[in-house]
Amino acid sequence: MKVPPILFRDQRFVVLNKPTGLPVHAGPSGGPSVEDCFPLLSRRKDGPWLAHRLDADTAGCLVVALRKAALLAAQECFESGRAGKVYWAVVRGEVRGESGRIDASLQRRSGRDGWRMIVSPTGQLAVTDWRVLGRATGLTWLEVRPKTGRTHQVRVHCTQLGAPILGDARYGGGDGGLHLLAREIHLPLDPTVDATAEPPLHMLSALRACGFAG
């Protein structure tokens, strides 16, 4: 497969602009994944490695480590909360207020229809900061900064605002492609790692309705 667009590269890392719908690694049923392009990123025998994860339906900044020392340094940034992560989400509904924080622990629950993450006092700590970037009738454009890295955290926390992400079939936002972008990544290493991803095509109409000028 082709390498997704590269947003940042040095001897330690590559930051890819992961397309919507592409898993980062192959699931039980196989199929294409970001890992398929790893031989094109480095010829080293001991890598590359994913430094973190993105949902298959989430587009945007994905950090790949090219060296083991770089992997460990990046993982420490993510695990300690020092990594700066900025997401853009277009949600269904008109969110009240202009900014806030969601502190709602998350737990995985399995059922006949598969698994999903739910808010639970016995779950893992999950904290997300948000602010409104724009509005349209029935839609709100949010900047979201997750302070922890739980599975589906942004998606579930948006439902806590009463505003599921547009296109999120699992958590109540309907179909048409998930309107969630890993917009920026910042790793406070020496030298720093910084990358910004442009919105995918399927998000542009809703973003422009909310005031995005790109």
Report yes or no on 188 lying in a domain.
yes
Is 12 within 8 Å of 65 (Cβ atoms)?
Answer: yes
**Burial readout 18-28 (b: 16 or more C-beta within 10 A, e: otherwise):** bebebbbeeee
The reply to whether 55 belongs to the active site is yes
CATH number at residue 11: 3.30.2350.10
| H or E element, residue 158 | helix 153-160
For residue 123, what pLDDT is reported?
Answer: 96
For residue 45, what pLDDT is reported?
Answer: 77
Give the CA angle between residues 159, 63, 174 to the nearest 5°: 25
The string of pLDDT tens digits covering residues 177-199 is: 999 999 999 999 999 999 999 99
pTM above 0.85, yes or no: yes
Report yes or no on 17 lying in a domain.
yes
**Nearest of 205, 210, 178 to residue 60 by alpha carbon:** 178
Spell out, as residue ranges, where the chain has pLDDT lower than 50: none
For residue 23, what pLDDT is reported?
Answer: 94
Q: Which domain holds residue 31?
A: 6-209
Rounded distance, CA 4 to CA 44, Å?
Answer: 19
Instruction: Supply the DSSP symbol for 17.
Output: E
Marked catalytic residue, from 46, 55, 103, 168: 55
Report yes or no on 116 lying in a domain.
yes
For residue 48, what pLDDT is reported?
Answer: 95
Number of domains present in the structure of the chain: 1
Report yes or no on 214 lying in a domain.
no
Report yes or no on 1 lying in a domain.
no
Position of tokens 């790893």? 38
